[in-house]
Amino acid sequence: MRRPAFLTLYSIFALGYCQFDFSNPYSAEQCASKLACSMNYSKVFDAKISELTYHHNLDLYKLRSFFVEKITPLDRETEILRTNTSTMLQGFGREISNVYTTLSQDRELINNLTRGMYDFGKSLHSEIAIRMDDVHRLVDELRGVQNNLALLQFEVNELKGVNVTGTTTQITKPGQSCTTDNATLAELSELKKNNTFLERVYSFAANSVKRLTSEVAERDKQILALQQKIRALQNQPGVPLASSTCDLPLGLGNSSVIPDSAISASETHVNYVPAGARINSQAGWYTNDKSRSQDWIQVDLAEKKHVTKVATQGAPCCDVRVTNYTVQFSQDGVQWTDYQEQCQKKYFSGNTDQNTIKLQTLEPPIVARFVRINVVDFNRKSSNANNYVGMRFELYGCSVRF
């Protein structure tokens, strides 16, 4: 008969706790049975359960710590993203409101201009009609004068002795009075003068009418072209402003967009290179310990960009942050220009803690390839030790459209 495996195990333990007779095959089993009865299995099971519970709780604690470590930065970044999104939406709302206001003003201006042009054209046509009536009246008067001159010429010829056929000539003798003839000739001369004057008036009026007609035709063309432009503008769909889309990160947070070599600084602490100044970086940029600073950090954007905003953040460690700074920009990285407001260098307020991102709007925006942040003041602690300068930053804007 085959013995169960647990009896064999008990037999082995029995070797150390009881003596048995090898000649009796059941002596080991009896000894093992006595030993098993003397053991307290509940304590063993409780100890095992306690040990398993301890390891289980330890694993749960490690897992909870891991998730907290991973989730906390995500919560912070989510809050920052929510704040930035709210700011952007408010900016979009203001700009859209400004666009609607500007469009309303433009429509009112165009309507006023259209009414003014219509009234001007109407008054101009009325003036031309009046001038044409005057010209026609002058023409009628000239024709009447010409008829009177023809009658007077006929009478003069009769007085001079020329008949209708022109064959008889009357000769005035010397000393004979010619009072009537002289008066007639004087009247004729005066009429000729008047005729010449009226002809000049007629010529001037005709030229004026021609010029006014040409001007009216040209203005009619201009009014028609303007009306077509107005209709085109009214039918054109709204185009968003550049500033509503020129508010995107320019890539400091992404090394594939702006490489580490594009970020440089006046000074750097060992193992804390300028590339650590990317926004939300876990490294940060630091200088050596100092009491005053004229340090700077700059970025090469690789091409000209519209820069509309600057975001700054303290360094990750040791309450290191920039509290006041200025901005410079350059096209070649050699000649630098200070960003100004009302013809004065603009000083920007920096950060009050290490992690909160502070956004500054550039009004007006700048167009540049290189942008530099100059440190004016930084957080200096009461002790002289560990007074480092450091920060993280990002630029916002868009590409330049040629």
Residue 265: pLDDT above 70?
A: yes
pLDDT at position 112: 82
Least-confidence region, from 217-226, 263-272, 278-287: 217-226
**Tens digit of pLDDT for each residue in 370-388?**
999 999 999 888 766 678 8
pLDDT at position 395: 96
Least-confidence region, from 1-15, 65-79, 290-304: 1-15
pLDDT at position 174: 43
- What are the structural domains of the chain? 5-39 (no CATH), 103-167+176-235 (1.20.120), 248-399 (2.60.120.260)
Residues 177-192, mean pLDDT to the nearest whole number: 56
Residue 168: pLDDT above 50?
A: no
- The DSSP call for residue 22 is T
Residue 373 bridge partners (DSSP): 297, 327
**Tens digit of pLDDT for each residue in 229-245?**
666 655 554 333 344 57
pLDDT at position 172: 41
Residues 319-346, mean pLDDT to the nearest whole number: 93
**How distant, in Å, are the alpha carbons of 105, 148, 231 from that of 225?**
21, 51, 10
pLDDT at position 339: 95
Residues 192, 195, 200, 206: what is their CA dihedral angle, to the nearest 10 degrees?
-160
Residue 78: pLDDT above 50?
A: yes
pLDDT at position 392: 95
* pLDDT band, very low/low/confident/very high, at 325 (cuts 50, 70, 90): very high
Residues 295-307, mean pLDDT to the nearest whole number: 94
Residue 198: pLDDT above 80?
A: no
- The residue behind tokens 């300028």 is 274
Count of H-run helices and E-run strands, the chain = 5, 11
The mean of the pLDDT values for the chain is 77
pLDDT at position 385: 66
Cβ atoms < 10 Å from Cβ of 371? 26
pLDDT at position 71: 85
Burial class (CB in 10 A: 0-12, 13-18, 19+), 28: buried
Helix (H, G, I), strand (E, B) or coil at 3: coil
Amino acid at 181: D
Residue 302: pLDDT above 90?
A: yes
pLDDT at position 72: 84
pLDDT at position 264: 95
* pLDDT band, very low/low/confident/very high, at 164 (cuts 50, 70, 90): very low
